[in-house]
Amino acid sequence: MGNLLGDLISGFGGPWWSWDLGNGLIGFIPGLAIYLTGARYRSTRNIVIAEIFGIIGIVFGLAVAAYGDMTSIERE
């Protein structure tokens, strides 16, 4: 929500939906690691699970943002 509000307040042409969605996914996907780890990161296994979810979140979130940018450029 912070990214969306920042886009609205900054006056740079309104929200950039692909980036707002991508940044949301960057936070949401790693947050799912809590279900597998129980939010306890005292073992190597749980730390690795959290790291993998973090990497997947970053890659997928940035892919959504980049795809949105590519499709918006084609429309112009």
pLDDT tens-digit readout, 25-61: 999 999 999 999 999 999 999 999 999 999 999 999 9
pTM for this one? 0.80
Given a cut of 70, is residue 10 above it in pLDDT? yes
Please tell me the least confidently modeled range out of 12-16, 19-23, 40-44, 45-49. Answer: 12-16
- Please give the span between the terminal C-alpha atoms of the chain, in angstroms, as a whole number: 27
- Give me the pLDDT at residue 75, please: 55
Given a cut of 80, is residue 63 above it in pLDDT? yes
At 60, is the secondary structure helix, strand, or coil? Answer: helix
Beta carbons of 7 and 14 less than 8 angstroms apart: yes
Q: What are the domain boundaries of the chain?
A: 16-75
